[in-house]
Each structure stands twice: as C-alpha cells, then as structure tokens.
A = this chain, B = another copy of it.
Amino acid sequence: MGRRIGARALLFDNPVGIRSWATAAGRKEAGGKLGQQFDFIINHNQFGEKSWERAEQKMQQYALELALEKAGLYGHQLDFFLGGDLLNQIIATSYTARTVGAPYFGLYGACSSLAEGMILGSCLLDGGFGKRAAVCTSSHHDAAERQLRYPTEMGVQRTLSAQWTVTGSGAYILDCAPCEWSITGALPGRIVDRGIKNSSDMGSAMAAAAVDTICAWLEDMNDLEQLDYIITGDLGKIGYEICRKQLLEQGYDVIDKYFDCGMQIYHAEDQDVHAGGSGCGCSAVVLGAKYLPLMAQKSRSRLLLVGTGALLSPLTVQQGETIPGIAHAVLIEYRQGGVTC
C-alpha cells in the first residue's frame, strides 16, 4: 500500500527493488564521459537496420534483454512492461513490447518517461498487482531530430541553447524482492508551462517544472539533508542554471548535490553538443551507467531522480502554441546488503 506524505509525495510501504538494469548507447555517447560504463555500444547509428527507427527499436530491445538476462528472467515472466520513447506513437517501445509478450502500458512523458514508468511500475508492484515489471525508454538522435526539428542531413546550424538528443536506451527491472537499490517514494509531476515556443530551447521549457516538483518534494518530505543526489533528467546547462537559481530563491541550496543528466554524458568542450544531452534515453543511461553505481560507494545513500519532459509537438508549435513541461520525481535508496521489500 502507498501512503501520501504532505500534499503530493507518495511513499511505498513495500519498497520496490531495482533488481537489475542495462544501458545501451550510441557511438557519440560512447566517446563521452561515460563511455566505459555503458553495457552495450552500437557502433553505427543505423545499427545494421534499414532505418533509424528500426535501429532505435533494436537498441531498446538489446537493453531490455540484457537487463532481463542480468535478472535471470525471461520477458514473459514480467507482470508488466511500461515504457515510452520520442517517436510518434511511441512505436519503438510498442515494437519492443511485441517481443516481450508481457502486459504493456505505453506511456508518453517525453524525456520524463523513465521516471513516469518507474512511478507507475512501483505503484503497481507496491499495490499488490504484480511481482515484477520492466521499465524501458529510448531515444535516437537522428530519428528524433528529423521528427521533432530538422532532418540531420539538412545540416541546419544548431543554436547554443539546443541540446543533443542522446542515442541510448535504459531498461530497469523492478521486483518485489530484497534488492540493494530500491524505489521508496515518488512525486508525480504536473504540467508547468512558462510560454516557451522555441523547440531548440528545451531546458528553459522544462526548468520550471523541475523546480515545481523538487520544491513540492522538499516541502512534503523536508529531507534535503538526507539526500545524497538530486538529478534532473535533461535540463542541459541552461535549464540547470535556471533550476538551481530558482531553487535558491525558494530557499533550497542544492549546489553540492544537484546534477543534471544532460550535462553528465558528453564532453561539453569538444563534442559540440551545445547545452548538453536530452531525450528519453538520456536519464535512462546516465542513471544506470553513473548514478546507481555511484550510490553503492556509501553503505546507504539516497537519490532523487527528477525526470523532466518537454512535451514538444512540432505541429502545435508551428500553430503558435507553447511547450508544456513536466517533471516526475522518484526516490531511490541504496542499502548495502539490501532491504526486504
């Protein structure tokens, strides 16, 4: 059963274990800061397929199969499969779901989809509706850019506020069994829209949503001291600065523990990614490749993942509409030796 703490935070009475996870990433990502930590690298963006969309689906499937293998499970043993991606009709995830055979909930939260899936997956397991769930998200640079902005072949000059959509996928197996990493709380986000219309400035579109969610969490939980890390999905350096500054204005000095996944993946100086990384795959690979392992350096640690999504529709932006932002928070705790859940 779940409990509400304060206005919006949820706590799980039976912490939901993260039994295993796996990350797959592209060649550019492999050349970045986390190159050695990914489980699998696809050496060409086409990944032996005839389209980028197929390549994305295959990459996602590899990540999921690897995570299942680490957990010693087959796809049909999952009670639920939750996920999403940036492609229209989240088609990469639906095709992956086709290979799994488990009951499937398709989600769309743009780059917040991983956190959205982790919240819903945890609620399903903590609520007693199943024993095991997989959460999987992905993004593919070329497939996303041609759909949401310009085809990469056009060589359109990118503005400095633009972020680089990560080619990557992360899969997480949630389990009602003792695990060292577990999801113990969450705070689902609400839409915050500050009137941004520029599809090359997603950081600004999402920052206010991240602030809304982090403040709501800290207000309900009052646990800033106990948190080792607060990591936002993919605000990039512009969004990160806005978020950090606005948190400070709200009285929360998070400077020593607040990081952004979009700034942890590439070498900003020489990989020409401008404001940083983004995409459903961004927080999915950075969480798995960097932060979950980092949490194990202490015998107990506590991380707040704040998945951020800019729900950008190229069509409605062309029609003069603004880009709504959202941020979903998930509390992950690590305990050496594991906890019973």
Contact = CB atoms under 8 A, between A and B. Distances in A.
B107 A106 contact: yes
A94 B191 contact: yes
Determine how many copies of this chain the complex contains: 2
A118 to B, nearest CB: 12
Contacts of A105: 107, 109, 116, 119-120, 188
Interface string A101-144: 11111111110000010011001101111100000000000000
Interface centre among A1, A84, A94, A95 (most CB of B within 10 A): A94
Given A54-B319, A123-B127, A191 B313 contact: no
A53 interface: yes
A44 interface: no
A95 B321 contact: yes
B50 A319 contact: yes
B311 A89 contact: yes
A312 interface: yes
A317 to B, nearest CB: 10
A128 B130 contact: no
A189 B91 CA distance: 16
A45 B200 CA distance: 32
Interface residues of A, number: 59
A70 interface: no
A129 B4 contact: yes
A183 to B, nearest CB: 13
A134 to B, nearest CB: 13
A307 to B, nearest CB: 12
Contacts of A326: 94, 104, 106
A97 interface: yes
B103 A106 contact: no
A52 B4 CA distance: 39
7 contacts: A2-B128, A51-B319, A89-B312, A95-B324, A103-B189, A106-B311, A123-B123
Interface of A: 1-4, 8, 10, 50-51, 53-54, 80, 84, 87-91, 94-95, 97-98, 100-110, 116, 119-120, 123-124, 126-130, 147, 187-191, 193, 311-316, 319, 321, 324, 326
By Cβ-Cβ distance, the 4 closest A-B pairs, closest first, are A127-B127, A103-B188, A91-B313, A2-B129
Given A91-B321, A123-B123, 17 more contacts: A1-B1, A1-B127, A1-B128, A4-B130, A10-B129, A54-B321, A88-B89, A89-B311, A91-B311, A94-B311, A94-B324, A97-B324, A100-B191, A101-B190, A123-B129, A127-B129, A147-B315
